[in-house]
Amino acid sequence: MKNLTSIQPSKTQHARLAALKQSFHDWNNTPDVLTQMAKRLSTTLSLETQLGIVAEEIAATIPFDALNYRHRIARQDFVFSTGMGGPHRCEYRLTLEGSYYGTLTFHRRHKFSSEEMTGLEMMLSAAICPLRNACQFISIEQAALTDSLTNIGNKRALDEALSRASAMADRHGAPWSLILCDLDHFKQINDNHGHVVGDHILTKTAEKLEQAVRNSDTVYRFGGEEFAILLPHTNELDARDVADRIRLAVESIRVDGGETPLTVTTSCGVAVHLMEESSDQWLARADEALYRAKAQGRNCTRVFATIS
């Protein structure tokens, strides 16, 4: 067995290790405002948390009365506000390497001096990379929850939303309804006209569904031609009305199919959440109602009736 001798660091390595140790000490003990903010921002990828840190760090050096941030990330508006506004403001478009990462506005009752504005720009320059990373993290998360064809929520997003809705319904006792929709005879469209036409109809269907519901309702594609709509604070009767409105909206779709335009209909199943019911049970009851609609002639709505 060979004897292994330790390799002693050279003088150059000793010097570099000593410099590294000093840098680490300075990093942990520096009172520098920009370094302190950068260290805090590096601990999280939550955009909301990061903006709170930015507000705290800037306010300690440059007082302001209100901070507002707005950005559109992955088809969703993101807004953050703190404080009450004043008549004077400084507004900054946050950009890095040609990409836009939101607009940050500071409000105050009296004007910002040129020295303060320079300070704001320096602090935002130190914050832009972490803010960029947080925005990109949101985009990645949303991409994992979005159907690539229709740009609405996918099956994973539906599962997560159903779990949250079930918990909220149990906690607050408010009615939540689920509608499942299935396009009738959709396979024939794909077989006779091709998948390009079929995909176009699916995209049009997603658009019609979003137009037919409230802003508080959410639409998902969780199967090939199956869609789901989650409706908060909606009872059984109102949910059935929404389902019928959805059917009419889908019937209005017209797609070029040659001599005559292609049309499509949909069947709908409705289920209202029951107390202490799991999301899987809720989904299964809506699916049973949808099955009944398909079995009883299609292009109709069926509700999973509950016995009170």
Catalytically active residues are 225
Query: What CA–CA distances, in Å, run from 239 to 105, 243, 272, 304?
Result: 41, 6, 8, 11
Cβ-contact 235, 179 below 8 angstroms: no
Report how far apart the first and last C-alpha atoms of the chain are (Å, whole number).
82
Cβ-contact 286, 270 below 8 angstroms: yes
- Tokens 């396979």 found at: 187
Tokens representing 182 are 């299935």
Q: Which residues pair with 190 in a beta bridge?
A: none
CA distance linking residue 212 with residue 36, whole number of Å = 49
Phi, psi of 306, deg, nearest 5: -110, 145
Phi, psi of 245, deg, nearest 5: -65, -40
